[in-house]
Structure 1
């Protein structure tokens, strides 16, 4: 009878692989369970993922924010006078567009036979009036001499009458003449005195009359002189001169064209006086003010200027502004040269700010994604002043925060996004 199988059992020592197999299986099971749990947690918190290379990031910092307007414009001549004709005629253009001219150089000539003929006629009339004036002077001298002769003759008659009166007094005293003869002598004396007095008055009146007539003739001659001088000025103005030193801009008429009076002929551009003409978006029009600082960029060269004028009207949803700036000797400018500009509106000191990005417009300035570890979390924010490169953060951030500054539309509005 066999009691059990103990006699048949043999003790076998376990192998090394079998001793580690079971702990290894338990480790693999625990790792898989952890990965599953981590995936579950991650899926519950981040329901969207995006590649880091598809996003742009910026760190919030504190500093001075210069609120500005970025725009563009062109160089225009502050002084570009247009030259006009003073009379109708045939124009001859002596300077071509682009030619350099000095102040006072003749750039065009107008041939006006009508004006030249009128000048000659008025000059001949002036010579005739001058001859008449000289003749009037001679006649006045002759009349004055006759008046003096009349006075002298009246004086002789007066002296003779006075002498007869004295003799009459002696004779009447000696009773050698009658009373009638004595009274006649006295009457003759009174008559001589009256004639002498009238002769002097006549001479004085004649002198004043001749002076008045000569003065009128001289005034007419002077008026005619002014007419001739004005015609001479107009004839001289037919040779059109450059009012400033610069270059010829554009011809406004054709060579040898027949033009009317006051017709535009050409322009002269003053190369020493330029201004910048900026086109500012209509939305910034209320922020502009005369005297504001403007930074102008001509390639690598930057100069500062000031707003000198702002157009009151809007064209193509833009406002035109003029900038006056100091000319630099090494700055070579040309009419209509393109440039970029920054209008400096204000300078905010020590504000929290972040680089400007597409999140400003895509989020309406109210939402942004903040980087927390490997995730981007959506938060509400409030933005303030904006410049061309930075924007002020009023609430929703602190220095050192990292924001996603690219468009939030790429994140599909998720509350949390995993950044790969």
Structure 2
């Protein structure tokens, strides 16, 4: 039995020598943190300066680039007749229809007839007035010839009287010189000659004045007759137009009245559709309509086919913010097209190959095109811009942006007009 004293050998343990690397590691980590903080502080400060935060999932972002810009107007159109005249009644009366809706017709074919007793009776009365005026003219011409003959006779008598007086003066003068007569006889012969000359001058003047007066009377009768004949010709035209004829080859469109209907003058009767010349009519927004001009190229699609078109006319009237435009087929008119058939229409307004722009989005309407939000380093910044030409897909950037900028094209209403917004992933 060991009776010796227990020592502390079992309690004492050798201690490990402290490492000198920990202070170095700690110091290095502190320096690294300081460097990182110093380096990242501008970015952190940049992020902290944002007014609010919006998730990127709620935004639409596109990149500014240089690409072709094609400005066009597309929509749905319907086939209409280039000529679709509406026919009206030229007089009041009873209308008799000679065709039905859909009947093919030829130019000049009688489509309807209007029986107008009032117009027919008036034509007969005016024709009678023409006969009366023609008789008046003939009577005036006969009377003018008679008076002209009487005036000529009076003039000839006055001329003969002058010649007689002149001869008598010559005889009396010879007799006075021979001493066979008194001087008083010569003076009487001189007075008679003067009176004869005065009568001849009066007869000549009266003949000229009366002749002019008779001519004026005859001309007045002729003018009245011509005026009446013009009136009769116009009435004959109106009576002839009571037979309503087709102005074009085509098809009867719509009947506006029933057969044997009493109607007033200028009442609508029917319409005729000229199917030989069809056009496509489309509705265009007023903002694009200002740029549409006749002659612009277009494209018409339908029935699995595509045809070249050309703008033929643009209506000057705006209805519900839209303007009606018509396109005609550039080549031969396609067959088997129907009135009011729906077709797709596209009109090319402008095309440029290299244009700095961005995909069109709601930002164009929301900001009015005065500013956009550009995403840089996770922050959307409000940047003033100037936009140019706009198409359905792209918008031209005139100033304020450069190629490669990332622009918020939709969802910018979430920013509520803030100058800087943090875009979170």
1:209 matched to 2:218? The reply is no
Shift, 1:64, TM fit: 4.4
Shift, 1:332, TM fit: 3.6
Conserved 8 A contact 2:374-2:405? no
1:162 matched to 2:175? The reply is no
1:306 matched to 2:311? The reply is yes
Shift, 1:72, TM fit: 0.6
Matches of 1:391 and 1:174 in 2, distance apart? 129
Q: Specify the alignment match of 2:292 in structure 1.
A: 289
Conserved 8 A contact 1:285-1:319? no
1:153 matched to 2:144? The reply is no
Matches of 2:390 and 2:78 in 1, distance apart? 25
Q: Specify the alignment match of 1:235 in structure 2.
A: 239
Alignment CA distance shift 1:307-1:197 (3 Å): closer
Matches of 1:313 and 1:305 in 2, distance apart? 21
Unaligned runs of 5+ in 1: 1-60, 358-364, 369-377, 398-413
Alignment CA distance shift 1:366-1:77 (3 Å): farther
Alignment CA distance shift 1:310-1:132 (3 Å): closer
Q: Specify the alignment match of 2:342 in structure 1.
A: 338
Conserved 8 A contact 1:289-1:307? no
Alignment CA distance shift 1:148-1:320 (3 Å): closer
Alignment CA distance shift 1:158-1:346 (3 Å): closer
Shift, 1:171, TM fit: 1.0
Alignment CA distance shift 1:337-1:189 (3 Å): same
Conserved 8 A contact 2:278-2:333? no
> What SS does the corresponding residue of 1:249 show, helix, strand or coil?
strand
Alignment CA distance shift 1:287-1:157 (3 Å): closer
Conserved 8 A contact 1:280-1:318? yes
Which residue of 134, 138, 145 maps to 1:141? 145
> What SS does the corresponding residue of 2:100 show, helix, strand or coil?
coil
Task: Give a deviation string over 1:235-268, Cα, whole Å, max 9, x none.
Answer: 1111112222221111111111111011111111
Q: Specify the alignment match of 1:182 in structure 2.
A: 186
Measured on the aligned residues, the alpha-carbon RMSD in Å equals: 4.0
TM-score, normalised via structure 2 length:
0.67
> What SS does the corresponding residue of 1:216 show, helix, strand or coil?
helix
Conserved 8 A contact 2:254-2:271? yes
Alignment CA distance shift 1:197-1:355 (3 Å): closer
Matches of 1:105 and 1:327 in 2, distance apart? 30
Alignment CA distance shift 1:210-1:356 (3 Å): closer
Matches of 1:328 and 1:366 in 2, distance apart? 50
Matches of 1:190 and 1:356 in 2, distance apart? 111
Matches of 1:237 and 1:220 in 2, distance apart? 26
Q: Specify the alignment match of 2:51 in structure 1.
A: none
- Which 10-residue stretch deviates more, 106-115 or 287-296? 287-296
Matches of 1:162 and 1:79 in 2, distance apart? 86
Which residue of 158, 172, 178 maps to 2:176? 172
Shift, 1:119, TM fit: 0.6
Q: Specify the alignment match of 2:415 in structure 1.
A: none
Alignment CA distance shift 1:211-1:350 (3 Å): closer
Shift, 1:298, TM fit: 2.2
Shift, 1:190, TM fit: 1.3
Conserved 8 A contact 2:256-2:268? yes
Shift, 1:297, TM fit: 0.8
Unaligned runs of 5+ in 2: 1-64, 362-371, 398-402, 407-422
Task: Give a deviation string over 1:26-80, Cα, whole Å, max 9, x none.
Answer: xxxxxxxxxxxxxxxxxxxxxxxxxxxxxxxxxxx99745343431121122221
Conserved 8 A contact 1:78-1:275? yes
TM-score, normalised via structure 1 length:
0.68
> What SS does the corresponding residue of 2:87 show, helix, strand or coil?
strand
Shift, 1:286, TM fit: 6.5
Shift, 1:111, TM fit: 0.5
Matches of 2:170 and 2:193 in 1, distance apart? 10
Matches of 2:357 and 2:206 in 1, distance apart? 103
> What SS does the corresponding residue of 1:309 show, helix, strand or coil?
strand
Shift, 1:302, TM fit: 2.4
Alignment CA distance shift 1:206-1:70 (3 Å): closer
Conserved 8 A contact 2:165-2:189? yes
Shift, 1:327, TM fit: 5.2
